[in-house]
Structure 1
Amino acid sequence: MGLLFVETLPGPKVFKCKLCKVDSASQDEIVSKDFQGRVNVCLGPNEDRHLLSGLHTVNDVHCSSCQQILGWRYEKAYEESQKYKEGKYILEKAKVMKVG
């Protein structure tokens, strides 16, 4: 499962849900150095998960149309070095596609 790191993906400007093709995020609205972006999604409930970078409270990110899970949003980081992730989104490469 790959993660979407926007700074490595030059080219088309819109990310769509691979399943239903609804626009999910605009590359122009994502600032990779700050991991900020505005997305067209629904968020699931808070859930504690042990990720590679430690324990985080996250919300699954669902497509607003078909409810496919596209990634997650960091709600809370428990380690001080990971606090910069709070409020930021991760989109999985396998769940989204780029179009121009």
Structure 2
Amino acid sequence: MAEFVGRPFFSCRSCRSPVAIADDILSKKFRAKSGPAYMFTNAMNVVVGRTQDRQLMTGVFAVADIYCSNCHEEMGWKYVRAYDPKQKYKQGRFIIELSKIVKEH
């Protein structure tokens, strides 16, 4: 936990395992199954599930659900591939639902 000293981060709401650093937020304007979500450049302590094509609000993407590596709570998804060239910036990024995380200081 030394790397988080003085840096706000987000933890899994269920088990408090750290999953993302606040500095890695790219956007706060995403929607997920349970409501608002953030896009992060990186995520930690998550397991990436099987990749599948999914129709989302901005088009079809190859995505993989992500789960907390400690308690296995579904957290959101990772964009694996964007088929629309205008959406390529999402590739490799993580969407984490706000209902699944808590901000730590």
The alpha carbon displacement at 1:20 in A equals 1.1
CA contact (8 A) 1:73 1:87 kept: yes
Q: Which residue of 2 aligns with 1:26?
A: 21
Extract structure 1 runs of 4+ deviating beyond 3 A.
Answer: none
Hey, what's the Cα distance between the residues in 1 that align with 2:10 and 2:40?
A: 15
Identity %: 36
CA contact (8 A) 1:13 1:26 kept: yes
SS at match of 1:15: strand
Does 1:66 find its partner at 2:53? Answer: no
Structure 1 runs not aligned, ≥5 long: 1-11
Task: Supply the RMSD in Å over aligned alpha carbons.
Answer: 1.8
Structure 2 runs not aligned, ≥5 long: 1-6, 28-38
Normalised TM-score (structure 2): 0.76
Residue 21 of structure 2 aligns with an amino acid whose one-letter code is S
Count of equivalent residues: 88
SS at match of 2:50: coil
Q: Which residue of 2 aligns with 1:8?
A: none
Hey, what's the Cα distance between the residues in 2 that align with 1:31 and 1:52?
A: 20
CA contact (8 A) 1:35 1:85 kept: no
Hey, what's the Cα distance between the residues in 2 that align with 1:74 and 1:90?
A: 8
CA contact (8 A) 1:48 1:55 kept: yes
CA contact (8 A) 2:40 2:96 kept: no
Does 1:86 find its partner at 2:91? Answer: yes
Q: Which residue of 2 aligns with 1:16?
A: 11
